[in-house]
Structure formats: structure tokens, C-alpha cells
Amino acid sequence: MARKPKGNKIDGWVNLHKPVGITSTQALAIVKRVLQPQKAGHAGTLDPLASGILPIALGEATKTVPYVQDSMKIYNFTVTWGEQRTTDDAEGTALKTSAFRPTRTQVDALLPEFTGEISQIPPQFSAIKVDGNRAYDIARDGGEIELKPRIVYIETLEIIDHSADKTSFRAYCGKGTYVRSLARDMGEKLGCYGYISLLERASVGPFTLENAISLDIFQNIEHKPTTEQVLLPLNTALGDIPVLALREQEAARLKNGNVLTFLSKPDLERMSQAGIEWDGTDIVTALTTFGTKAIAIVDVKGIELHPIRIFNV
């Protein structure tokens, strides 16, 4: 007999607002301690000095984490000019200094160079693994490693405010973008150096500040939150892919890992109405449902539905 998993059967998302001063892992641990789910994970790490959106997946929602990690993000951040630091943020020690301070016009003229697809070298203090070790562990031990540049995508980068020593920005960017590297590289281009002194993640795909849950709610010993108060549906992470409703027999076959083939005209019309181009050559990713339950994420290849993530809800 299979051993029953420990914890509560909870499937969904918590849109957590992580405060400054704790790691993403510590924030996750606080949520787990209160809700006690069978499984949990977060979609995208935030540095201890950063605040903002930390989406936390519970139960079967952990199967949708990659879709959140791949989504676009909005960051609000402030760059302090005049220093380059070891960590590229306020936590590090100064490596280089400059008395020069850029004008708003000079900063604004630089922004086109940092939009679109750009090459970026991650910070020395990052979670990237090198020969099995985290880069930040090597850096903390005094080592220096050569991290390879990577291509990242920044759709928009705009100035929110500017003063003599600081400039505040908002960036709308894709997966893998390091805002600390962005600050470092802009400072070098301007010839004044720079580091992140404030960083807030304002959104991760469908998760935004407007409906985020404060970590304080999970730390209130007298009034612990219920899942109904803090939980978003499992399919919250999949809001931008087509949704195809299944019949009961179809749902059962898909949950067993079988490929579904749609041949009849009504079935093909059902796919078209769901926004799935079944007669094309491209593979389309879709969410299948039965009633209110998510059944599986599928790859639609012509008239065939291939399950790639099956949900046990």
C-alpha cells in the first residue's frame, strides 16, 4: 500500500508579497508552516534586499511553475550612481567609485541600448551553478568566476524619477534578466558606476501587487489565514493559453496518459472555439478541463492531444 503523503491536500497559488530582509526560501517556509501543504515551491527567486511578488505554488500547482518562470515581469528599481559594488546592490562593498553624476538627459539617451534583446553577464553573487556550486557561495568564499554572457529580453525600460545621485526606473522584461546587472552595466556605460539601492518586483505574469498577500498575514499567530482567504486557482498561472473543455470519458482517458484524437466535425469545432488552430503545423499548448477541474496541460499536434502535465485534483 502506498504511503499517504504528509500534509494537507491543497492545490493552487499564493500571490505573496515578500518583504525586504528575508530570502525567498524563508518566505516559502513561513507559508508552508501555516498551510502545511503536501508540496510547495516558488516561481522565481527574489534577493533578500528585494521586495515584491513571489508566487508560491502548492500541491499540483507546482506542475505549472515553469509557465510562471517563463512569463514577463515588471521591476521597479532605483540605481545609486557613483559606486560599483561586489554584489551590484547595497549589500556589497565598493569596488570602484566616481565623482561624476549623470543628468536625466544622459540616462534617458542610454535606455535604447538596454532594450530589446541584450547581452548580459550575471552578477558574481547569483544563484547560477558553476561546477555544481552556486556562484554566490564561491563569491562569499573570496573566489571569482567567469560567468558567460546570456541574451535576455527587455521590452521597455523607462525613467520614473531622477535626482543628483539616483535614478528610479521601471522595466518590463523576460526570463533570466538580472536587474543588478542592468544597473552595473548602465553605470559603466555612463562612466559613473552604479548599484541597485531599491528593488521591487511588481508583477510576475498574472501575479501583481494589486492582489498580493502580505507575509504578515501568515505570521499572525492569533488569526491564521485559511486556504480560502489566500489561495488562487491552479490555472491562474495558465491564463494566456487556450482552455478546452472535455467530456467525462475524454478526461478519464487523458488522466490515464492516453493521447486523444479529435476526428468528428463537432470535436474539431470545439477546438476552434477554444482558440486552438488544429489544422496548422505548429504545436499549441492548451489546458484541458472537466467541469471546474483542471485535467491536464496538453500539446495539440494537429488533431491529437498529447498530455504533458496531468493534474491529480
Catalytic residues: 47
Single out the residue of 89, 80, 11 nearest to residue 51, CA to CA: 89
Residue 132 to residues 109, 127, 217, 308, Cα–Cα distance (Å):
40, 11, 37, 29
Count of CB atoms situated within 10 Å of the CB of 224 = 13
DSSP H stretches of helix in the chain? 24-35, 65-69, 104-110, 135-140, 179-190, 227-230, 248-255, 265-273
Q: Enumerate residues 6+ apart whose C-beta is below 8 A from 80.
A: 90, 165, 166, 194, 195, 196, 197
How remote is the C-alpha of 171 from its chain's centroid?
14
Alpha carbons 113 and 239: distance in angstroms, whole number:
32
Residue 150 to residues 56, 97, 125, Cα–Cα distance (Å):
27, 27, 16
Burial profile 34-47: b = 16 or more Cβ within 10 angstroms, e = fewer:
bbebbbbebbbebb
Dihedral of the alpha carbons of 256, 260, 265, 266, in degrees to the nearest 10: 30
